[in-house]
């Protein structure tokens, strides 16, 4: 940039020479009517004004500063060329841990995380176990795996934290991974630890971590945590109410037998009274076994008579109910067995329903 100012100064110099040439002429020729001293003073003052106004106007209208900034950024090596240079350096001296470190960082900048992880790995092989390198390697790997945790990443972070419990990158990563998996409280814990251990003192490895950003992340995690807690509370209450309501479900029956069929049944015959789902498996939802001599009988079918844990009567708002006299003692109606059936009963209704055994299975 100074080159531009030198050129501008040269132009101004040329202008001054052009203006002043007659004075030189006067000096050498010494004409009869020599200029007065006042003329020289006026001339010098005019020249000064000329120079100052010119530079002042240029400072206002010219783009020298903007141009300088632009040239500076133009001259800054692009990340790609920097990578190329570092690769050549590493090739020349494979033990140059610093070159490897910067190469890995440059790879991170251009999102080549796999290459970055292996470069960090190489660097830590040369330098020996180092908490920061391990954390950076874990970070590169986590990104390379598409933000998925893995045992290797966990191990690297654990090792890093074991070596240096307040390692900034490691804490940041642990927080981030927890946050990413939805474990906001864990994320808050890790990040808070990071803020607590690093806000008071400046440490080298925090240079790359902006504590304000971490604090913002903590706030974000807290908001999300509160939201999810509120949501789970609502869910709990809803399900509790539903359970209570379901647990109250039952079918009150008064089971009798048709007088015409009464003669066919002996007192010792077994009567099955059961509820079935309207659709789906035929397995009874609740069942009671009595002997024929107990008839007529009032009873209730509910979850206490349930046969399956997974499919209870309380799960259904409507069921069909059966009462059957099985002469063969085999579950399921056989030909000649007697039965009574109601196609649909509302389990939430508390009234007693009459179920009459009045049919014979053909």
**Least distance CB 28 / another protein (angstroms):** 13
Give the residue with the Cβ less far from another protein, 69 or 91: 69
Q: What is the DSSP string of 269-333?
A: -EEEEEEEESSS--S-SEEEEEEGGG-SEEEEE-GGGBS-SSS-GGG-SEEEEEEEE-SS--SS-
Segment 316-335, which members bind another protein (CB under 8 A)?
A: none
Give the residue with the Cβ less far from another protein, 57 or 233: 57
**By CB under 8 A, residue 296 contacts another protein:** no
Pick from 41, 45, 48, 53: which binds another protein (CB under 8 A)?
53
**Least distance CB 10 / another protein (angstroms):** 9
**By CB under 8 A, residue 163 contacts another protein:** no
CB 315 within 8 A of CB 302: no
**By CB under 8 A, residue 13 contacts another protein:** no
- In this structure, the number of other CB atoms found within 10 A of the CB of residue 352 comes to 13
Give the residue with the Cβ less far from another protein, 63 or 247: 63
How far is residue 239 from each of residues 38, 242, 258, 319, measured CA to CA in Å?
104, 5, 43, 22
**Least distance CB 24 / another protein (angstroms):** 10
CB 241 within 8 A of CB 266: no
**Total interface residues for another protein by CB under 8 A:** 31
Backbone angles phi, psi at 63, to 5 degrees: -115, 30
3-class DSSP state for residue 202?
coil
**By CB under 8 A, residue 41 contacts another protein:** no
Q: Which stretch binds another protein (CB under 8 A): 13-21, 260-268, 274-282, 351-359?
A: 13-21
Segment 235-294, which members bind another protein (CB under 8 A)?
A: none
**By CB under 8 A, residue 39 contacts another protein:** yes
Segment 58-87, which members bind another protein (CB under 8 A)?
A: 58, 61-64, 66-67, 69-70
User: What CA–CA distance (Å, rounded) separates 212 from 314?
Assistant: 54
**Least distance CB 4 / another protein (angstroms):** 5
Query: What strand order describes the sheet that includes 352-357?
Result: 297-301, 251-257, 352-357
Contacts of 31 (CB under 8 A, 6+ apart): none
Task: Kindly list the residues in this chain that would bind another protein in the complex (CB under 8 A).
Answer: 3-4, 7-8, 11-12, 15, 18-19, 21-22, 25-26, 33, 35-36, 39, 46, 50, 53-54, 57-58, 61-64, 66-67, 69-70
């Amino acid at each position: 940039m100074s080159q531009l100012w030198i050129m501008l100064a040269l132009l101004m110099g040329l202008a001054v020479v052009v203006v002043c040439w007659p004075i030189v002429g006067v000096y050498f020729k010494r004409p009869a009517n020599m200029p007065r001293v006042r003329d020289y003073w006026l001339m010098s003052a005019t020249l000064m004004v000329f120079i100052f106004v010119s530079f002042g106007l240029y400072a206002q209208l010219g783009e020298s500063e903007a141009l300088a900034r632009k040239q500076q950024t133009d001259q800054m090596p692009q990340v790609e060329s920097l990578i190329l240079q570092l690769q050549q350096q590493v090739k020349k001296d494979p033990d140059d841990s610093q070159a490897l470190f910067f190469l890995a960082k440059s790879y991170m900048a251009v999102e080549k995380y796999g290459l970055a992880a292996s470069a960090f790995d190489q660097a830590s092989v040369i330098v020996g176990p180092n908490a920061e390198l391990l954390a950076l390697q874990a970070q590169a790997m986590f990104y390379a795996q598409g933000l998925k945790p893995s045992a290797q990443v966990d191990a690297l972070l654990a090792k890093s934290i074991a070596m240096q419990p307040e390692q900034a990158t490691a804490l940041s990563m642990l927080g981030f991974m927890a946050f990413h998996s939805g474990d906001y409280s864990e994320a808050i814990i890790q990040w808070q630890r990071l803020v607590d251990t690093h806000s008071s003192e400046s440490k080298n490895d925090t240079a790359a971590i902006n504590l304000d950003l971490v604090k913002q992340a903590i706030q974000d995690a807290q908001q999300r945590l509160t939201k999810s807690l509120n949501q789970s509370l609502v869910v709990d209450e809803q399900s509790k109410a539903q359970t209570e309501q379901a647990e109250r479900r039952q079918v009150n029956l008064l089971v009798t037998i048709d007088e015409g069929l009464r003669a066919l049944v002996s007192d010792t015959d077994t009567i099955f009274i059961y509820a079935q789902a309207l659709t789906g498996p035929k397995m009874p939802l609740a069942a009671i076994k009595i002997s024929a001599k107990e008839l007529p009988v009032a009873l209730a079918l509910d979850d206490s008579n349930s046969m399956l844990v997974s499919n209870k009567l309380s799960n259904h708002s409507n069921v069909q109910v059966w009462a059957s006299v099985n002469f063969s003692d085999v579950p399921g109606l056989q030909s000649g067995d007697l039965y009574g059936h109601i196609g649909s009963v509302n389990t939430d209704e508390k009234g007693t329903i009459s179920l009459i055994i009045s049919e014979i299975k053909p």
